[in-house]
Amino acid sequence: MARFKIRNLGDDPMRRLRVEAAGHGHSMEEEARTILRTALNEHGPPDNLSRAIRARFAPPGGVELEIPPCDPMRDPPGSTVSEAP
């Protein structure tokens, strides 16, 4: 199995990783693996656009879009056509 080191990450990301790991009952190394796996799976190319969209919006319960009311069509500027009475 491959190994690598991440250097110069800074104190804040390390502190946040430590807190997240403790909250999940993991070691920092296991938490970093989980974060990497999740990030790489979420941002990989979707095998199906419909499934990718559904997966994105399904957890919060979907999205309700309001359909705006339609306005009556107007004649284009400079048109000599007028509406019948």
* The pLDDT of residue 57: 76
* The pLDDT of residue 44: 62
What residue spans define the domains of the chain?
Answer: 11-53
Whether the model clears a pTM of 0.75, i.e. scores above it, the answer is: no
How far is it, in rounded angstroms, from Cα 22 to Cα 46?
32
* The pLDDT of residue 40: 81
How far is it, in rounded angstroms, from Cα 12 to Cα 31?
15
Residue 81 has pLDDT above 70, yes or no: no
Q: What are the b/e assignments for 10-39, b being 16+ CB within 10 Å? A: eeeeeeebeeebeeeeeeeeebeeeeeeee
Burial of 58 (0-12, 13-18, 19+ CB in 10 A): exposed
pLDDT in tens, 14-72: 999 999 999 999 999 999 999 998 888 766 666 788 887 877 777 666 667 888 888 88
Q: Which two tokens stand for residue 46?
A: 């979707």
